[in-house]
Chains A and B, each alone.
Chain A
Amino acid sequence: MRVKANPCFILHNRAWRETSMMTEVFSRQEGRITLVARGVRAAKKNNSQALLQPYRKIMLGWYGKGEMGTVNSLEAGDSEYALQGRRLMSGFYINELTMRLLHRHEPHPELFDAYEHALAKLSRDACEQTTLRIYEKQILRAVGFGLVLDHDIRTLDAIDHDALYHYQLEAGPSLTSPDSNTMPSVIIHGSTLRSLEKECFEQPRDLAEARSLMRSIIAGILGPKPLASRKLYQSYIRCLP
C-alpha cells in the first residue's frame, strides 16, 4: 500500500536501529499510525530529523502493509508551532493523550484540525488550561465518549448555571445523586458544564472543576496505566521556585 504525502504531526519518536527512527504519527488522512523513517539519524540527514519533530506540520508519504509503514517522502508543511517552557510539558500531554485514545488506522480529520488548533494556542499566549480542556473534550467526542453538557440526563432539563450536578462518568450530569456506589461521579457546578460547552471559562473555579472532571473521565477510559506526561507535569510543578 502506498499513501501519498498528506499533512501529519509527529506524536512521538523513538530511536530505531542505528540511524533510523520509529515514529508515532497523527495523519490527517489516516489517523494514528506507526512509521519507520530510515537513516534520518545519520549525520548527513540532519535536516530530515529536524523536520521529524513534534509540533511541526509535515507532509509525509509512506508505503508498506500491516502495522508499520516506511516513510518515502518528507517535506515541511505550512506551519510550525514553537512551544516554549512549561507548554512543552502540555505538548507531551496532548501527544500522549492522542496516542493513548486513538486507535491505529482510524482517520479523524476533524480532530486533526482541533489538535493543530490546540498547538497554535499553546504556542501563543492563549490560556493553557482552557486549551487542554477543549482538546480533551474534542478527543473524547472523536473516540465515542462525548460528554453531555447541555441537559440533565434524568429530567432532560437544561443545565442550571448555579446548580450542583453529579456527573456520572459514563453517562452525564444529573441533579440527583446516582443510585449506588457502583456509578462513579464527580460533583460540579452547572456553570462548569456550560463553560465546557461554550469552550470559554469565565471563572477559575469552573476551570478547576473541568480539570478534575476530565481527569476522572479519562482515567476511567485509560484504565490502570496512568499518563506518564501527567506525572512529569506534577514533578515539574513541584520543582518550580
Chain B
Amino acid sequence: MIESPLLTRLVASLQCMPGIGKKSARRIAYQLLQSKRQNARELATVLVEAMDRIGHCQSCRTFSESELCQVCASHKRDRTLLCIVESPADVYAIEEAHYNGLYFVLMGHLSPLDGVGPDELGLDQLEQLLDRESVEEIILATGTTVEGEATAHYISEMVKKRGIRVSRLALGIPMGGDLEYIDSNTLSHALSGRRPVE
C-alpha cells in the first residue's frame, strides 16, 4: 500500500511510545488526521515544550521545570524525613500513599553490568542534600530486586557515619516487584511497616 512519506514518518515516530506497536501507531495516526487535528496540534506543542523545559530538580533529581521541584520548594513538607526512590514514577506512587517528607530520586539502581555505579545515581548529590537539610530518617524505597537491595545496602553504609536512622520499605511489596505497578494501599502498608536496616 502506498502511504504518504510524512504519514509513514508519523507512524514510525508514534512507536516510540510504550506499548505502541506498528498497528496501534497506524490506527492513532489515521485517527488524529481524520478527526483530531486540533488535539494533535496541541499535543505536538506540549510535547516539544515538555521535552525542552522539563529537567531535573537540583535537589532531589525528580522531573521538574523549575530549579527546585514543588516538593523541595514547599514549606509544608517534613524535612526531617527523606525517601529514596529509583524513579520519578516511584515519587508519584509514594505521594499517593500520603507521604509528606522529602525525596531523592536515583534515576536507576546499582547495576555494574549496565555501567550504573554510585556516580550515575548521583550519590554525591545525595550527600550534598544531607549536608544541607537536617534529615533524621531515611526511608530506602528502592525496588525489591537484587539491584534494589544492593543499592539500599550501599546507601545505608554510606550514610552510617551521619548517624541518621535508616529504614527500608518492607511489608506488602512482592519480591521483584516494581513500585510503579503496586497499588497505593499496599504501598501505604509498606510505608507504615518499614523496618530498620542493620
Binding site for B on A (CB under 8 A): 12-14, 18-19, 41-43, 46-47, 49-55, 83-86, 88-89, 91-92, 95-96, 99, 227-229, 231-232, 235-236, 239-241
Contact = CB atoms under 8 A, between A and B. Distances in A.
Contact of A47 (B115, B154, B174): B174
A47 B177 CA distance: 8
Contact of B154 (A13, A55, A236): A236
A208 B114 CA distance: 29
Contacts of A84: 153
A91 B176 contact: no
Interface in B137-164: 145-146, 149-150, 153-154, 157-158, 160-161
A231 B117 contact: yes
Give the residue among B114, B146, B157 with the most A Cβ atoms within 10 A.
B146
B113 A229 contact: yes
A54 B145 CA distance: 9
Contacts of A95: 113
A92 B176 contact: no
Nearest to A89: B150
A46 B117 contact: no
Q: DSSP class of A's interface residues: helix, strand, loop or mixed?
A: helix
Contacts of A240: 157
A46 B112 contact: no
Contacts, number: 72
Contact of B177 (A14, A46, A86): A46
A50 B176 contact: yes
A18 B19 contact: yes
Given A235-B118, A240-B157, A228 B175 contact: no
A89 B145 CA distance: 13
- 6 closest A-B pairs by beta carbon, nearest first, are A50-B176, A228-B112, A88-B150, A43-B181, A50-B175, A229-B112
B21 to A, nearest CB: 9
B178 interface: yes
B137 to A, nearest CB: 18
B112 A232 contact: yes
A217 B118 CA distance: 27
Nearest to B158: A239
A52 B170 CA distance: 20
Contacts of A41: 178
Give the residue among B153, B154, B176 with the most A Cβ atoms within 10 A.
B176
B110 A232 contact: yes
A229 B149 CA distance: 15
A241 B160 contact: yes
B5 interface: no
Nearest to B180: A43
B150 A52 contact: no
B174 A239 contact: no
A232 B117 contact: yes
Given A53-B146, A239-B154, A18 B18 contact: yes
B177 A49 contact: yes
B150 A46 contact: no
30 contacts: A12-B113, A13-B145, A47-B174, A50-B176, A51-B176, A53-B146, A53-B175, A84-B153, A85-B153, A86-B153, A88-B146, A88-B149, A91-B146, A92-B150, A95-B113, A96-B112, A96-B113, A99-B113, A227-B112, A228-B112, A228-B113, A228-B117, A229-B112, A229-B113, A231-B117, A232-B110, A236-B154, A236-B157, A240-B157, A241-B160
A241 B158 CA distance: 7
Given A92-B150, A228-B113, A239 B157 contact: yes
